[in-house]
Structure 1
């Protein structure tokens, strides 16, 4: 940890494990409460992280989530070795989904993941390579 990092957390996301989906975002929510972060910020982080975590479960063969809390922002880096996102612009459209029928049968895959991440973050960055994976970086400002 460098000088300006208050807290670092790491989670492993298991592919297709819907019973554990959301554990990381729930843990981060509770940790931020303990740190005294405002409820509005916690809500933004929780929604954005949950959507990213679910995307990793459904589409990306799982992966890792690294959280860094600094005095000014919360940075969430979600890294996977999934198939990559073929059309980011299309994936950003509300309602567009490539989720399997089995994921949809469980109530997931409505095509709101990336649009909600964008809505509830202050900045997001997608780095994706087809056949290699995707790194999604989500920033939520504390002020």
Structure 2
């Protein structure tokens, strides 16, 4: 019989418009991965991409949910919301494009780098969105472990 590996599964709720709590999921996951001894570069990629996703959920979607599965080989992250959806995904993926309101930008968020950074720092990235229904983003970072 082959060896089976159980994934560590985590769930995070991200509140909308609460920038003091957005980032808690990425900080928690980063600490867990470090404690488990995962490679620092992979941990950094996970933390950056998940943080960007949390901020996007808080700014644009009124909050959402994050599901994470950790195995020795990879971290899979799924972010989902029931926000307004993304009308033009290729445009939204452009560096510097932002629909964040001025009050959010005045706090230092909403520079239009969230989605591009999420893609940049992951090994797999897929985004699906329906206007008026919400968005689902699936990301994965390979951990380089046996």
Q: TM-score, normalised by structure 2?
A: 0.94
CA contact (8 A) 1:93 1:115 kept: yes
What corresponds to 1:98 in structure 2?
99
- Give the superposition deviation at 1:137: 0.5
Could you tell me how far apart the structure 1 residues matched to 2:6 and 2:26 are? Answer: 19
* Residues matched between the structures, number: 141
What corresponds to 2:40 in structure 1?
39
What corresponds to 1:21 in structure 2?
22
Structure 2 counterparts to residues 116-135 of structure 1, below 5 A: 116-135=117-136
What corresponds to 1:81 in structure 2?
82
4+ residue runs over 2 A deviation = 3-6
- Give the superposition deviation at 1:17: 0.5
- Give the superposition deviation at 1:6: 2.9
Could you tell me how far apart the structure 1 residues matched to 2:104 and 2:5 are? Answer: 40
Structure 2: runs of 5+ lacking an equivalent: none
Structure 1: runs of 5+ lacking an equivalent: none
Cα RMSD between the aligned structures?
0.9
- Give the superposition deviation at 1:127: 1.1
Could you tell me how far apart the structure 1 residues matched to 2:40 and 2:27 are? Answer: 14
What corresponds to 1:139 in structure 2?
140
SS in 2 for 1:99: coil
Deviations 1:77-125 (A, max 9, x none): 0010000010000011000000011110100000000110111000101
What corresponds to 1:66 in structure 2?
67
- Give the superposition deviation at 1:61: 1.3
